[in-house]
Amino acid sequence: LKPLFKEARRKMHGVKRADYEAVSKAEREAKLKKIVHYTKLTKIVLKAHRESVRSEKMFQLVGSLIEINPDFYSLWNYRKVLVENLIKETGEAEEKKAAICAGELKLAERALRKNPKSYYAWHHRVWTITFGTTDLKTEVALCTKYLAMDSRNFHCWNYRRYCVVLGKIPLEDELEFSSRKIDDNFSNYSAWHHRSFLIPQLIDFAETKDLAKLVEDEFELLKQAFFTDPSDQSAWLYHRWLLAQVVGLGINSGEESKQTSSTEPKKCIIADKSEQIAIIKREMEMAEELVAVEPDCKWAMLTIALLIHGLRERGVVADGSKERVRDIFGELISLDPMRRQYYLDMKAKVSEKNDV
């Protein structure tokens, strides 16, 4: 064990000792002075917070400390108190109120440059726009810029959805934006998830012909993703969600009004059983086609088993389907033994009682 301890001492959180020693003594001392100064100032601020100090000096100092360390939530909490006090003092002056809120958005933006995934900076941004002085179209455009730098920043995606709802941004525009991000990278789970937020809302207002096109476009987009990268789980998980929305796959029959999960649909998009069967058969053919060229694609095999179960629930039982399901799960356990129990659980769910 001695060599391991020696190596552990030589490294600290991925920083080699040699790298630390490469920094000059003067630089280390200067950094230490900054830390001491920062600690002293935070103590002053926290004391002022406890004593309910509401001064301009504290307002400026808290902002400066947030820019240094955007992940100190107590500073953000104090900042909110100070902002509310300033807004209260403005009375009915909407221009002053808007200027204060604009300043808070800029502060949050500077904090996000320091840490783009700071929970507290994003929460402060959400809190700020609730005052109703912010152009939410501008906020959505800003999110587009952030997501161009990091397309999987889920904080930004969540904030974008909040702005879309609050600002009544056209859902069709958001669906198009999601499509562009998926075209850039089929593995962008956040972009797929964004669609699961948009589709149910679009369904409520779509005409019948538009609804049919919407469904077909979604399945076609998924097919492109599957044949581009069959092993990526993002598209397969969205596919399972979409099947639940469209034909009720995986949803207990007769219990549509009783939702046990936020991802379960209030009602199926396609209610006609014959149309449901046609969609399930088409998707199974697609999965079978993929398995023919990618025989080790676990997600496609699992999807086939789920679709066979969906057909059985609708009274369609093909010859050899029972054996096919059994063989699929045997192959999945062989290919992916670490998830053996998961496959056994799924097998129990999709098999007939006397098959398990």
pLDDT at 257: 44
**35-53 residues labelled b (16+ CB within 10 A) or e (exposed):** eeeeeeebeebeebbeeeb
Lowest mean pLDDT, pick from 85-99, 102-116, 331-345: 85-99
**Strand pairing report for 11-12 and 15-16:** antiparallel
C-alpha R_g of the chain: 27
To the nearest 5 percent, what fractions of the chain are helix, strand and coil?
75, 0, 25
Lowest mean pLDDT, pick from 61-65, 93-97, 258-262, 269-273: 258-262
pLDDT tens per residue across span 48-69: 999 999 999 999 999 999 999 9
Mean pLDDT throughout 96-106? 96
Band of the pLDDT at 14, cuts 50, 70, 90?
low
Question: Rounded to whole angstroms, how far apart are CA atoms 355 and 253?
Answer: 21
Mean pLDDT throughout 14-31? 68
Mean pLDDT throughout 176-205? 93
User: Any idea what the Cα angle at residue 38 is, between residues 32 and 39, rounded to 5°?
Assistant: 90
Question: In this structure, how many other beta carbons lie within 10 angstroms of the beta carbon of residue 101?
Answer: 20
Band of the pLDDT at 260, cuts 50, 70, 90?
low
Q: What is the DSSP letter of 169?
A: -
Q: Give me the chain's average pLDDT, please.
A: 89
Question: Rounded to whole angstroms, how far apart are CA atoms 189 and 238?
Answer: 9
pLDDT above 80: residue 253: no
Band of the pLDDT at 211, cuts 50, 70, 90?
confident
pLDDT above 50: residue 173: yes
What is the percent of the chain where pLDDT is above 90?
76
Band of the pLDDT at 11, cuts 50, 70, 90?
very low
Helices 189-205 & 154-167 angle (0-180, nearest 10): 20
Map tokens 């797929």 to a residue: 192
Residue 15 — φ and ψ, nearest 5°? -100, 120
Count CA atoms closer than 13 A to 112's CA, side-chain side. Answer: 25
Band of the pLDDT at 8, cuts 50, 70, 90?
very low
Q: List the helix and strand counts (H, then E) for the chain.
A: 17, 2
Closest to 146 measured CA to CA, from 137, 155, 135: 155
